[in-house]
Each structure stands twice: as C-alpha cells, then as structure tokens.
Amino acid sequence: MYGLEMGRSVPVKQSDFMCAVIVALRNDSTLASFVNNRIYTQVPQEDPTIPFPYIKCSLLQQGDWSTKTDYGYNGILQCDVWSNYKGNIQVLQIMEAIHDVLHRKPLLLASGQNVCLNFDISDQLTEQGTQIMHGVSRFRALLSE
C-alpha cells in the first residue's frame, strides 16, 4: 500500500510491521513461558505436531490515514491464541501478556516508521467439537512517518 505525502509516495512495509510485532512478542519472557517461539503469521493447518499453546498474528485491514501534510496508515492486527488447556485460564493469561506487550507501547519498524498499537477488543471461545480454546485479541495500528 502507498500513501501520498506532499506529492511523494511513501511505502508502508507491512512485512516490516509484522516482523516488529513478532519480535516484540517473542522477546517477552511471560509469553515465552507459555509459547516459547510458537508465534506465527501462518500456521500449517495440516500439521498435528505443532504443540499447544501457540499464537498466530494477522494484519486484517489496512487503510490510509494521511492528511495534507503528514503521512499515516491504519490497520487492524489480530492475535489468535490456541490452547488445549482445560478451561479458558491459559488463553486469558496469554491474551493479557499480549496486551501488556502491545497496548500503547511504541513499536519502531526497520524503516524508521513508528507504530502505535491500541487494544480494541478480545473474545474467547471453544472450537466446535473439540476442547481447544481459541482467544482473539485485536489492536488498532496507527503508523506515522
């Protein structure tokens, strides 16, 4: 995606954004105690060897947030948590740790752009026909140059 700032194109490097999110999550000791490095952007659905719990992060929506003088970008980051722990306590603990890492914490991309993430909404449910708990946390991402 490209935005316009005073007549020039400024690329939004979504891969840089996702890498920065993954690094921030993987560097947190609380999350590491639950999931180690099992934080993905793509989880092979057919692979039964992936141990629980794990996290999958996705960028769901992206949009231009520019003004006449400043470049900006917004998007929705979704973090999905899967756990086979009985009950929802482990999913809730992992979602709280994700919140602590991402909510209103500065995130600097390799491109030098700053991202502010604000918690939006969360939910948890049991996957149909299984004992697997699924938690969902969404964050609004605002990026400026």
How far does the chain reach from its first CA to its final CA, in angstroms?
A: 14
CB–CB of 113/145 below 8 Å? yes
Residue 145's pLDDT is what? 64
Q: What is the CATH number of the domain that holds 124?
A: 3.30.2000.30
Domain range for residue 103? 2-43+52-144
Contacts with 51 (C-beta within 8 Å, 6 or more apart), sequence order: 38
For the cut 50, the answer to whether the pLDDT of residue 6 exceeds it is no
pLDDT-derived band at 15, boundaries 50, 70, 90: confident
3-state helix, strand, coil in the chain (%, to 5): 25, 40, 35
Residue 8's pLDDT is what? 39
pTM, to two decimals: 0.86
Residues 62-114: tens digit of each pLDDT: 888 788 887 778 889 999 999 999 989 999 999 999 999 999 998 888 877 78
Name the strand (E) or helix (H) holding 103: none
Residues 106-144: tens digit of each pLDDT: 888 887 778 899 999 999 999 888 889 999 999 999 876
